[in-house]
Amino acid sequence: MVEQSIGKSVLRKEDMRFITGKGQYTDDINLRGQTYGYFVRSPYAHADIGDIDVSAAAGMPGVIAVLTGKQVAEDEIGGLPCGWMIHSKDGSEMKQPHHPVMAGSKVNYVGEPVALVIADSFVEAKNAAEMVDVDYMERDAVVYAETAQSAPIIHEGISANTCYEWELGEKDATEAALASAAHVTNYEFTNNRLIPNAMEPRAAIADFNTATEDLTLYTTSQNPHLVRLIMTAFIQLAPEHKLRVIAPDVGGGFGSKIFVYSEETALAWASMKLGIPIKWTAERSESFLADAHGRDHVTTAHLAMDEEGHFLGLKVKTTANMGAYLSTFASSVPTYLYGTLLAGQYKTPNIYVEVDAVFTNTAPVDAYRGAGRPEATFLLERIVELAARETGRDPVELRRINMIQPSEFPYQTPVALEYDTGDYEASLNRALKMADYDTFGERKAASEAKGKLRGIGFSCYIEACGLAPSQVAGQLGAGVGLWESGEVRVNPTGSVTVLTGTHSHGQGHETTFAQLVASRFGISVDDVEVVHGDTGKLDFGLGTYGSRSLAVGGSALSKAADKVVEKGRLIAAHLLDTDADKIDFDDGEYRVRDSNQAKTFQEIAFAAYVPHDYPLEELEPGLAEKAFYDPGNFTYPAGTHICEVEIDPETGVVEIDRFIAVDDFGTVINPMIVEGQVHGGIAQGIGQALLEGCVYDETGQLQTGSYMDYCMPRADDLPSFAVGLTSTPCTHNPVGAKGCGEAGAIGSPPAVINAITDAIGVRDIPMPATPEKIWRAIASTTRSAA
Amino acid sequence: MYDFNYHKPSSIDEAVALFIDLEDAVYLAGGHTLLPSLKLRLAAPTDVIDLAGIPGLGDIDYAGDDLTIGALTAHDDVATSPVVQSVIPALSALAAGIGDAQVRNRGTIGGSVANSDPAADYPAAVLGLDATLVTNQRSIAVDEFFTGMFETVLEEGELLTAIRFPKPEAAAYVKYPNPASRYATVGVFIARTTKGVRVAITGAAPSVFRATEMEAALNVDFSENALAGISLDADMMNEDLHASAEYRAHLCTVMARRAVAQLS
């Protein structure tokens, strides 16, 4: 079993079905009597709705019903809630506008659903949707975070379009540190808005059974239980025990499938209203318009240092664009997932951050791979780089002298978090070696000799994962607990069914969790089946996001497996006629210590289900255990990314010559899967740094609504990544794992921008750093030098 | 897409007759512009006339210093044809750089040229190589052919059947692709011919055009240096999210110099 134990790169069990086209995604499911929904969406960013005339659409071939936002309002369904309460500096609660399931009286972004057409076929629904006549009275649109607070009001009663004005840290102490510093570095920048672009667009089938009054919702979700809870408790669609949410194979989420959206909710409501199954699958254009976007922060920051380069204080002011409404977890992203990370790997004693969250007439903005932590890391690793250059220090050495040392853990930051463990220099040193940093100068000279510019950039990131200690999250405003459930069912023949409340949509849980459990029992991963994504099969679970699945969900499974082992020990003791404390369990065998008497795991399982010789008066039959695990702290993955670029000064085109990532994820179950996660994350981070940028024009029209204009990273945009691991296992969960899903996207963008600005000798270049921006920046340095 | 009637004629005459008879028909070659337009409901023809059933439109033929490529020849066939590779290697290289493998296997040279997309690659080669456009009615010199963005002199129903390229002394194509779409933001095709140097630029302006100032300079001195002082007028350039007019004008000179470098 050694080849399948923890730490081995077992091939992914799920891949054969995915790569042979046999995955079962929501759109692959077809129900008897299924109808199709198509949404009529607002073409305006900001407009009042007058009459909606559906008569022409209703008369079109195949049309079953046309439902509008006005009917949603009449039925009193919704609105869509935001699950995290943020309080402003003055103690007041954040302003949460009513978020209708479909707009009834006013639209607030382009693409907002206004009506739902249901027909016998997709084409008929779409044809009829074109005939829905909506009377819009256009208003001026509010589009950009920078100007939102002085723009016309979007939501009645929410002044200055401001959701909250939040703060964290010690203002006076930080300002005093800035005032007394030997040097202060200032940085103003925008963290560019992104569109998630999961490979599988969102889709749903709502199926109301008029006989049993059960509603089944198949949907592309990262957390089906959360969908059920919100639809029941907040939207009041159906009682929780009559609502089953199934998230089958899901083709990527990156955060965008955490949320409870208008479309899935409207579909569920319509199915209950009409008593028929209805399917909706987003077209890619709809995904661009109506999936929750990411990032979109405008920030000013000041970093204070003493004469030796020690950081004294960091003061930050960020304006975060929330879009038109608060998406499910939008409010937490620029606050507790952002401000709390501003210490990074450094011993900055004083930190103060203010965040104004503002509404605009754009699609809602919420968590996107990294969620707040990429924004914090970008700020920190850029301003540290600038500070090094301004004061003539080596950027590596400046980071090094400020790093928290291994002997200083647990380390309490000035922004609420307590880091449990880490060794930041170990990752830094390893990355420098892998990058051949010593010989960078030679490569730079070689590039110059052929007319190219070469630069190197560093990023030493930390993130907080393993969401989350429920009581801490609750104190900070979370509307839910953030524990996880796990169940280990040993079958009578000794094979195992594992049930987890997390959800795999590309992460490879069917392999990693099988490895975790199989290695505990000394059985093959092929004898373990992982079940997830169905509220009808599982205990409540919180789903997958925030790199939490192994650290929290794996820990629950680990505890459940412990219980199985212990119960098995009692059974073995009975069968072997000895005391339980004299029995060791190892490599699939219960053995009486210092003897050759043993029972296999399979024999124990059989005895548990066929209890003919069994201590029934003391022990229940069966061998299935569950556990609920609530983490004691966040986990803190950390590492160093190094990017080296070569730039063509004539065109501004960047070639990434090498990209090195050395990460400390604690205990790693499957290094191949972890490396894949890191690769994907880096690709997304490089996408943000070089290629991706969501653009709305001044009227709120999306300019980047297709792949012709929104530039996703492709394989040929990227080098072969060099990925390494260091390890300080998490101290407070039973697996020792920290989480690896987001690190790539968190660590990489500042490494890329630091490399580019190093190469061309400019202070800053906005993301995405397109060739034209770089060409212009080079031209400006040439002019200023001349 | 909206419903339409589908036709698959087996001759050019039949195709043209259908086009004239039908209410609002379009020809379908490789479909790489038409099908996305249909799917996005930007085009709504009553009838689609698929040219794939007409024999002979995908032939490549070299005779008497003229390379003739049938209008329905797929990009991949141009890219991998030993004849094209040997007679005009710059043309096969251009074809190999269009889109991705799926696009190259379906998209056709005739479809691309007849469409006159300002960001397509082929118009630069056709104009740069002084090609002749052969239709079911006539032969058209390329200098007369492209008239504007998505516009040519092709008349309603007139069917481009082949493109005839005179063999140049040498030719090169260098492009700067749009990072998102991979269409040409600027693509410069330079050919040395017996009648002089021709420089054709696609992507930069509303339609492919000849950079006559560059041609004149290169006719005097075929070297990178000859282009150093030439900057095209940004006012005639396209401007979009991906590249300003000024950047496009700058790229025209850079790409032209790189094409010359390949030929020097």
- Asked whether residue B14 falls in the same domain as residue B70, the answer is no
Is the pLDDT score of A3 beyond 80?
no
Distance CA B39, CA B32 (A): 11
Query: Where residue B108 sits, what CATH number does that domain have?
Result: 3.30.465.10
Name every chain B residue with its beta carbon within 8 A of the beta carbon of A704: 241
Is the pLDDT score of A268 beyond 70?
yes
Tens digit of pLDDT for each residue in A504-534?
999 999 999 999 999 999 999 999 999 999 9
Across the range A135-161, mean pLDDT stands at 97
pLDDT of residue A1: 46
Tens digit of pLDDT for each residue in A275-295?
999 999 999 999 999 999 999
Instruction: Specify the number of domains making up chain B.
Output: 2
Distance CA B244, CA A362 (A): 25
Q: How far is the alpha carbon of A691 from chain B, nearest alpha carbon, in Å?
A: 8
Q: How many CB atoms lie within 10 A of CB A298?
A: 20
Task: Look at residue A154 and tell me if it is in a domain.
Answer: no
Tell me the pairing of strands A278-281 and B25-28: unpaired
Residues A491, A605: contact at Cβ < 8 Å? yes
Residues of chain A with pLDDT > 90, as a percent, come to: 97
DSSP characters over B37-80: HHHTTS---SEEEEGGGSTTTT-EEEETTEEEEETT-BHHHHHH
Q: Please classify residue A701 by burial: count the beta carbons closer than 10 Å to its beta carbon, then call 0-12 exposed, 13-18 middle and 19+ buried.
A: middle
Band (A419; pLDDT cuts 50, 70, 90): very high
Task: Look at residue A11 and tell me if it is in a domain.
Answer: yes
- Asked whether residue B34 falls in the same domain as residue B159, the answer is no
In chain A, the residue whose alpha carbon lies closest to the alpha carbon of B179 is: A711
For A265, the token pair is: 């909710």
Distance CA A270, CA A357 (A): 33
**Which of A194, A696, A698, A772 is the best mutation test for B, with the most CBs of B within 10 A?**
A772
- Asked whether residue B129 falls in the same domain as residue B177, the answer is yes
Which residue in A638, A742, A672 sits closest to A343, CA to CA? Answer: A638
- Asked whether residue B85 falls in the same domain as residue B13, the answer is no
**Residue B29 belongs to what domain range?**
5-53
Tens digit of pLDDT for each residue in B20-64?
999 999 999 999 999 999 999 999 999 999 999 999 999 999 999
Distance CA B80, CA A111 (A): 44
Band (A784; pLDDT cuts 50, 70, 90): low
Q: Please classify residue A344 by burial: count the beta carbons closer than 10 Å to its beta carbon, then call 0-12 exposed, 13-18 middle and 19+ buried.
A: buried
In chain B, the residue whose alpha carbon lies closest to the alpha carbon of A711 is: B180
Band (A317; pLDDT cuts 50, 70, 90): very high
Task: Look at residue A190 and tell me if it is in a domain.
Answer: no
Distance CA A763, CA A755 (A): 11
Task: Look at residue A157 and tell me if it is in a domain.
Answer: no
Prediction ipTM score: 0.96
Is the pLDDT score of A29 beyond 70?
yes
Query: Where residue A739 sits, what CATH number does that domain have?
Result: 3.30.365.10
Q: Give how far Cα A258 sits from Cα of A8, A220, A409, A492, Å.
A: 30, 9, 33, 36
Residues B162, B169: contact at Cβ < 8 Å? no
Mean of the per-residue pLDDT values of chain B: 97
**Which of A122, A709, A717, A774 is the best mutation test for B, with the most CBs of B within 10 A?**
A709
- Asked whether residue A623 falls in the same domain as residue A597, the answer is yes
- β-sheet with A203-209: strand ranges across: A63-68, A113-119, A35-41, A278-281, A203-209, A214-219, A243-246
Instruction: Specify the number of domains making up chain A.
Output: 3
Band (A785; pLDDT cuts 50, 70, 90): low
Residue B72 C-alpha from the chain's centroid: 13
For residue B91, the 8-state DSSP code is H
Across the range A385-405, mean pLDDT stands at 98
Of the candidates A597, A629, A661, which is a domain's last residue? A629
Is the preceding omega at residue A441 within 30 degrees of 0, hence cis? Answer: no
Task: Provide the number of CB pairs (under 8 Å) joining chain A to chain B.
Answer: 36
**Residue A228 belongs to what domain range?**
31-139+199-252+257-290
Q: How far is the alpha carbon of B103 from chain A, nearest alpha carbon, in Å?
A: 14
- Asked whether residue B133 falls in the same domain as residue B31, the answer is no
Q: How far is the alpha carbon of B120 from chain A, nearest alpha carbon, in Å?
A: 13
Q: Which residues of chain B have pLDDT under 70?
A: none
Residue A330 C-alpha from the chain's centroid: 12
Is the pLDDT score of A783 beyond 90?
no
Distance CA A496, CA A476 (A): 38
Of the candidates A270, A290, A310, which is a domain's last residue? A290
Residues A197, A209: contact at Cβ < 8 Å? no
Of the candidates A629, A646, A663, which is a domain's last residue? A629
Which residue in A750, A766, A771 sits closest to A649, CA to CA? Answer: A771
Across the range A406-434, mean pLDDT stands at 97
- Asked whether residue B44 falls in the same domain as residue B65, the answer is no
pLDDT of residue A716: 94
Residue A770 C-alpha from the chain's centroid: 26
Instruction: Tell me the residue type at A87.
Output: H
- Asked whether residue A430 falls in the same domain as residue A302, the answer is yes
- Closest CB from B2, B179, B243 relative to A711: B179
Distance CA A97, CA A622 (A): 51
Is the pLDDT score of A643 beyond 60?
yes
Distance CA A287, CA A110 (A): 12
- Asked whether residue A419 falls in the same domain as residue A495, the answer is no
Distance CA B185, CA B252 (A): 10
For residue A786, the 8-state DSSP code is -
